[in-house]
Amino acid sequence: MYHCALCLKEKQLQESHILPEFLYESLYDYKHRVQILSAAADQPNLFRQKGLKERLLCNNCEQSLSIWEGYARQVIRGELPLTMTSQRSLVYIEGLDYRQFKLFQLSVLWRAGVSKQRFFEHVTLGPHEKKLRALLVSGDPGSPDRYACFMFGIQHESGHVVDEIFQPVRQRALGQVIYSFVFGGFHWAYMVASQDVPIHMRSATLRKDGSTIIQRQGAATMANLANFYDRLSDLGRLE
């Protein structure tokens, strides 16, 4: 018996996904394997029958997170009747369930922060880990201006959506720490700070009324993705 990372109770732990299983669905090959690409010379590409997992959560906490994951899956797969209006590179979205989608966003960030997997080694939340855990335990998404997540829809030059999963990285922007994730066809940029997101940027993040703005972004314009592809190519690991 071990302590669950979320509720902190001594319970039997599950093999928990750090990133939800549905994000790997489009990446499995005919043998139901997903390839984990590595740009580190001492860490080869790996094949796994399931996505990255570790013993982290008890069954009750797994079930809690799965509710928010189920909602996010419908959003990302375009299965909900959301209102979307495009204006150049911006997509204005209305009709999201603020609580469920924000808790999904926070759950991914928190799990990456507590994971011992090398893939998530750059996500170091410090005192924010405890604060995020408290929000998840209580089912409270908190303020839309704290731990805000900016979303960008990513496309290759061919027009195809980038559906890969990339190792999250820690960056700095506007004097704040930003954790950048790529999964589900989106770049998710979390602002992790002890103060609210600047007023002039708030409309670009998920609001309590269920609205948000997503900006379309070319993969070639993202330096970290371009560098990752270049390193893979140099190592002969990019098909």
Q: What is the pLDDT of residues 146-181, one digit of tens each?
A: 999 999 988 766 655 566 788 888 988 777 899 999
Q: Which two tokens stand for residue 209?
A: 């009324």
| DSSP H or E stretch at residue 225 | helix 223-234
Distance from C-alpha of 38 to C-alpha of 228, rounded to nearest angstrom: 9
The count of domains in the chain is 1
Comparing 237 with 132, which gets the higher pLDDT?
Answer: 132
- Does residue 239 lie within any of the structural domains? no
Helix then strand then coil, % of the chain, to nearest 5: 30, 30, 40
Q: What is the pLDDT of residues 82-126, one digit of tens each?
A: 999 999 889 999 999 999 999 999 999 999 999 999 889 999 999
> Do the bridges between strand 149-155 and strand 212-218 make them parallel or antiparallel, or are there none, so unpaired?
parallel
pTM recorded for the entire structure: 0.87
Ranges of H-type helices in 32-171: 59-76, 98-114, 128-138
Decide: 163 and 155 in contact? Cβ < 8 Å.
no
Give yes or no for residue 216 having a pLDDT over 70: yes
- Does residue 150 lie within any of the structural domains? yes
- Does residue 114 lie within any of the structural domains? yes
- Does residue 202 lie within any of the structural domains? yes
Decide: 88 and 144 in contact? Cβ < 8 Å.
no
- Does residue 85 lie within any of the structural domains? yes
Percent of the chain with pLDDT over 70: 79
- Does residue 157 lie within any of the structural domains? yes
**What is the domain range of residue 127?**
2-234
Q: Which two tokens stand for residue 104?
A: 């999904």
The set of residues, in sequence order, having a beta carbon less than 8 Å from that of 159 and lying 6+ positions away, is: none
